[in-house]
Amino acid sequence: MHKNARKNIIYSIILLLVVFLVYLYRQNQQAPPPPEPEKDGKTTITGKTMGTSYRIVYMDELSRDFKPSVDSLLEVFNASLSTYIPSSELSRFNQGDTLAFESVYLPTILKTSYDVYKRTDGAFDPTVGPLVNAWGFGPDGAQLKDSVDVFQLLRFVGFEKINFDTEKVWKTQPEVYLDFSAIAKGYGVDVVAGYLEDQGIEDMLVEIGGELVARGTNENGELWKVGVNQPSEDVSSRDIFSIIGLDNKGMATSGNYRNFYYKDSVRYSHTINPKTGNPVNHTLLSATVLAEDCMTADAIATAMMVMGTEKAIDLQDSQDNIDAFLIYSDSLGVHTFVSDKLKPYVSYIKGEKE
């Protein structure tokens, strides 16, 4: 028993000596360099807003999760501009005559809407909502209507019937109704992108319901690339017609090829001309617009779908700060128009058509 105890003591001393020698050896060696930090962490967040979905991809060394903040921000945004929330700023204005601004969102979207309204000679008009609903393209989707009193409704359409200053907005006719569904998603994209920039994020792709803003580059150091859908009446189709590289731009697409119905063999599109009060009837299938901000791109894409191909091209030619990718049809098939500055950023999936 005494002999085994002595052996254990000797083994313990030897073990301690070995550990001490290893420690000295390591201390005398040059410390290894710290590990190189990985490239900015790629983070993707998704969610629901404005009756659709959002998807945001950003590069962040800290791998922060901004989803709770983005959801809260969009909730406040909707509380201002939603027509589906009865207590929203916009809903309360539509129910009354005058409203003092309570947030930055309503005066900002009014200002941009008025600017695009003037630039497009009234083709973009957020007071056209009652006509859209009357023709059967309201919240429940495309549905045939027995009759539409266009003349009666046109009396309440026209953005000139809305006045605003830095403090409030008011109507000249109580029946006028504002609906920013053709510009709000684009504005929401800008708001989210601005928030992320304030958090120090330089590389991002923000998308809400197909409207986008790109900043910086992706994880490979390349421009963010997004697809333009192949015009198809099949709502389940997600075929890509072309790819566009976004160089710090906002992008929005508007189209007539899915939301429609037939009555007496006549095809009725959801895009309503604010001047005539009737659905448009032309060969422009989709308009994709790039601008410095997505709100402007969203509104102008809508205006181009009202105008048709030739007038849309004229509008693009007259504007220095927008680019357009148009898909249209004629008796020979489907064709595209691409503004000159945009051509280097476009690649085709189905073959180039210009």
Say which residue the tokens 């090829």 belong to. Answer: 257
At residue 147, the pLDDT reads 64
Distance CA 133, CA 139 (A): 8
Over residues 194-219, mean pLDDT: 97
CATH code of residue 129: 3.10.520.10
Over residues 6-31, mean pLDDT: 48
Q: What angle do CA 126, 130, 134 make, to 5 degrees?
A: 140
The residues near 255 (Cβ < 8 Å, ≥ 6 apart) are 229, 231, 285, 286, 287, 305
Q: Is residue 232 part of a domain?
A: yes
| Whether 170 and 24 share a structural domain | no
Binding-site residues for Mg(2+) sit at: 182, 298, 302
Q: Is residue 354 part of a domain?
A: no
| Whether 332 and 212 share a structural domain | yes
Over residues 215-235, mean pLDDT: 85
- Structurally, the chain folds into a number of domains equal to 2
**pLDDT tens for residues 174-184?**
999 999 999 99
Q: Is residue 110 part of a domain?
A: yes
CA dihedral sign of residues 238, 244, 245, 246: negative
**pLDDT tens for residues 40-81?**
589 999 999 999 999 999 999 999 999 999 999 999 999 999
| pLDDT of 209 over the 60 cut | yes
| Whether 104 and 228 share a structural domain | yes
| Whether 24 and 59 share a structural domain | no
| Whether 123 and 187 share a structural domain | yes
| Whether 234 and 326 share a structural domain | yes
Residues 315-342: b if buried by 16+ CB within 10 A, e if exposed: bbeebeebbbbbbbeeeeeeebbbbeeb
Q: pLDDT averaged over the chain?
A: 85
Binding-site residues sit at: 182, 298, 302
| Whether 20 and 150 share a structural domain | no
Phi and psi angles of residue 335, each rounded to the nearest 5 degrees, phi first = -135, 170
| Whether 162 and 51 share a structural domain | yes
Q: Coil, strand, or helix at residue 178?
A: coil
| Whether 9 and 60 share a structural domain | no
Residue 142's pLDDT band (boundaries 50, 70, 90)? Answer: low
DSSP assignment, residue 343? G
Query: Which position has the higher pLDDT, 135 or 69?
Result: 69
pTM of the model: 0.83
| Whether 27 and 112 share a structural domain | no
At residue 281, the pLDDT reads 85
Domain that holds residue 16: 1-32
At residue 138, the pLDDT reads 62
Distance CA 193, CA 221 (A): 19
Q: Is residue 353 part of a domain?
A: no
| Whether 158 and 27 share a structural domain | no
- Secondary structure element (H or E) that encloses residue 329, with its range: strand 322-330
Residues 304-313: b if buried by 16+ CB within 10 A, e if exposed: bbbbbbebbb
| Whether 98 and 192 share a structural domain | yes
